[in-house]
Structure 1
Amino acid sequence: MKQQAEDAKEAANLAFKKQDYGQAIDLYTKAIQILPSAVYYANRSITYLRTECVGYALTDASKAIELDKSYVKGYYRRAAAYMSMGKFKQALKDFETVVNARPNDKDAKIKFNECSKIVRKLAFEKAINVDDGKKSVSETLEGTLDSIVVEESYAGPKLEDGKVTQNFILSLMEFYKSQKILHRKYAYKILIDVKKYLTQQPTLVDVTIPDDREFTVCGDIHGQFYDLMNIFKINGLPSETNPYLFNGDFVDRGSFSVECIFVLFSYKLLYPNHFFMARGNHESSNMNQMYGFDGEVKAKYNAQLAELFTEVYNWLPLCHCLNNRVLVSKVGM
């Protein structure tokens, strides 16, 4: 039995290296069923993290610790799961256990210090927080967008009468292929208009698809702009006769998250009843700080726009029901 379990684990490790995480999970599960061990649970935990099934990852890491309280990787995996869930105090406690057990582990020290900074920052913000009726970014910008000057040197796409058009989006995508930045005036306008629309939408959106029509559902884009362009090349551009649903995780990790989200939001404004977007676990302030989107927005624009993105994300629907039969939502949330 021990050899059978080890064989299953080794096969799972190979699948993991090939990034075939579904196969790896199945094989780790087989090893656990044959002979449960802390190692197998910890390995399946990191695999679940890679697929962003954070709840399962947390459960497996905790099970690894239960089976062997001295197994350091169990604490490391559980800390990573807690971080992904935004439970920084719990993560810090586990990272501290890892650092104490392995004082020379550089990666553990880096993760511990990062987590410690977040915990201190949150504690400080809580201590000084005062409900002073502060306006949201969108409220602050209300009525002031016209005062933002578009420089004569700007040669990029422009909204037509303040509206998104098909020509605007086509120009925007070509502009982004040249790795140029949309003017902040239009960036602000798109986000404010998207927020206004989303505030009127339900959490669960019902979508009706005619029997003779196709409907494209896309998973995580994660800032891969050229992958997004390839999707449109293969499946056609969004339109009233070619509807799409992008099911969350538009940003983070990739280097072109800003470009991806503005193309998607532009299509949402152009075809509100034929282009759908759901909120994923990466459409949140904490995840954006950890996985790169927050820094990207600040580098390409400013902190105010990063805050406005968070306001917009808070209004995104969480799920869609297709023809009263198929529920589409983010399992990683």
Structure 2
Amino acid sequence: MSENAEITGAISSSDDIKTAEKFKEEANEYFKKQDYNRAIELYTKAIEVDPTVAVYYGNRSFAYLKTECFGYALTDASKAIELDRNYVKGYYRRAAAYMSLGKFKLALKDYETVTKARPNDKDAKTKFTECNKMVKKLAFEKAISVEENKKNIADTINLDDMAIEDEYTGPKLENDKVTLEFMTDLLSWYKKQNKLHRKYAYKILLDIKAWFMAQPSLVDISIPDKSKFTICGDIHGQYYDLLNVFKLNGLPSETNPYLFNGDFVDRGSFSVECIFTLFGFKLLYPNHFFMSRGNHESATMNQMYGFDGEVKAKYTAQMAELFTEVYNWLPLAHCLNSKVLVMHGGLFSRDDVTLSEIREIDRNRQPPEEGLMCELLWSDPQPQPGRAPSKRGVGVQFGPDVTHNFLSLNGLDYIVRSHEVKNEGYEVAHDGKCITVFSAPNYCDTMGNRGAFITLNGKDMEPNFTSYEAVPHPNVRPMAYANSLLKFMC
């Protein structure tokens, strides 16, 4: 009996082998068409017929990576390696999954295995070198961050030292304040691919940090009976699609309030434009424009998926650090009319979590790998009851019973979350009690999904959905500023 057969406890028949291969080939075709979910279904069928083949798990792992199911990708890659220790792509896939989860030391170990197996493989050597740099960089940053009285970057910024050059013709703050004229000028200035002056950019960041620092981790919002309120999901640096939301639904104002539910940046290569637009509207309408933290408002995600590189390319490394300080103060959730809870990710690994407990979370930090703050940013719903380990490798998956129990305990009607691509830009699950909204259409220029936003009014709080297609953008590809190890993700 072969080693592979011993692992699975059975030898596959020749008919099974042919059937499984057919499923694999069909899955490969869907993968090429970027229909990753269908590819995953077919790789799964191949595995069900013949669970002894490492390649099936390796291919499904790659498809899971493409759909951001990093936990599943990691499990499949490990299974492929278990079946065939010499299957080099298995180590590649597992390293990519570890990288996506910010587990750089474990990724480095797998890349080292690949370079030993393929000493002449330039790609493997490059990935090993890049990953090694990342491990050393993080170790250095950790060493210097233990200084007890480390100064905030915000305290080191001197706006008086920043002169406005005569040739600058872009938007200008009036008496150091954001105005409607400034915002309308900024929208058109950015649309033409121009850059906001660094003095104004820094001023916006300093002011927004001060505002967010005064907010609780859970913000209560009151919506009058006859007033409209809009909830948007992930934007992910897709500035021209953000402009389209405003075209379809109107600019933010005191009579047209918005909540943007995290993941404003990364992947899309106009993240700087997105974040300053949103921060500008927050300063202009502080009580009618709201922003929740997403899992991509974190230093590790920004270093991997492009925002950190984009800020350094368009401004400075100092500004990139200042963004990290600002993101640490973003609220984690919003409660609308004491009826609807909105968070980026989802619910929790335990049943007794209350709104008051969320309100008291100490959020001024990088997202931890477990606990309430982590789960608010990372969790996902599942159709089956109960809980399961996250497909992402972080947070938890929660079923309809978990949602119903949470709503009952806290006197809520339903929850709104984002965090996941949906074909129509939204999905209603858990008997209408768990709604997903995702506002980045044709995500990463590859997924072909629509975007959506939710509108409701204070009287009945009934969600209404507007779904829309992607609009053209300048020829700058997604992930243009991302870490080279993750360029495969788009």
TM-score (norm 1): 0.87
| Alignment match of 1:21 (pick from 36, 39, 48) | 36
After TM superposition, the structure 1 stretch with the greater mean CA deviation from structure 2, 247-256 or 176-185, is 247-256
**Does the C-alpha gap of structure 1 residues 215 and 91 become closer, same or farther in structure 2, counting only changes over 3 Å?**
same
2:416, 2:190 → 1: CA distance? Answer: 33
2:419 paired with 1:330: yes
How far has the Cα of 1:320 moved from its partner?
4.6
After TM superposition, the structure 1 stretch with the greater mean CA deviation from structure 2, 173-182 or 49-58, is 49-58
How far has the Cα of 1:209 moved from its partner?
5.8
How far has the Cα of 1:112 moved from its partner?
0.7
**Does the C-alpha gap of structure 1 residues 30 and 197 become closer, same or farther in structure 2, counting only changes over 3 Å?**
farther
SS at match of 1:215: strand
2:26 paired with 1:11: yes
2:198 paired with 1:184: yes
Higher helix share: 1
2:111, 2:288 → 1: CA distance? Answer: 45
**2:120 aligns to what?**
104
**Does the C-alpha gap of structure 1 residues 274 and 75 become closer, same or farther in structure 2, counting only changes over 3 Å?**
farther
**1:250 aligns to what?**
264
| Alignment match of 1:49 (pick from 53, 65, 72) | 65
2:209 paired with 1:195: yes
After TM superposition, the structure 1 stretch with the greater mean CA deviation from structure 2, 125-134 or 293-302, is 125-134
Instruction: Among all aligned residue pairs of Structure 1 and Structure 2, give the percentage whose two residues are the same amino acid.
Output: 69
**Does the C-alpha gap of structure 1 residues 158 and 205 become closer, same or farther in structure 2, counting only changes over 3 Å?**
same
Structure 1 unaligned segments of length 5 or more: list them.
Answer: none
Give per-residue Cα distances to partners, 1:266-321, cap 9 Å, x unaligned.
Answer: 12223334433333333222332333322322222212111101111222234455
Give the paired residue count: 329
**Does the C-alpha gap of structure 1 residues 269 and 102 become closer, same or farther in structure 2, counting only changes over 3 Å?**
same
Q: Determine if contact 1:247/1:329 at 8 Å carries over to the other structure.
A: yes
**Which residues of 2 match residues 269-284 of structure 1 at below 5 A?**
269-284=283-298
Higher strand share: 2
How far has the Cα of 1:240 moved from its partner?
3.8
Amino acid at match of 1:326: I
| Alignment match of 2:244 (pick from 230, 235, 245) | 230
**Which residues of 2 match residues 1-333 of structure 1 at below 5 A?**
1-36=16-51, 37-127=53-143, 130-141=146-157, 144-205=158-219, 213=228, 215-219=230-234, 221-320=235-334, 323=340, 324=412, 325-330=414-419
1:31, 1:165 → 2: CA distance? Answer: 59
Aligned-CA RMSD value: 2.7
Q: Determine if contact 2:233/2:418 at 8 Å carries over to the other structure.
A: no
1:106, 1:13 → 2: CA distance? Answer: 25
SS at match of 2:291: strand
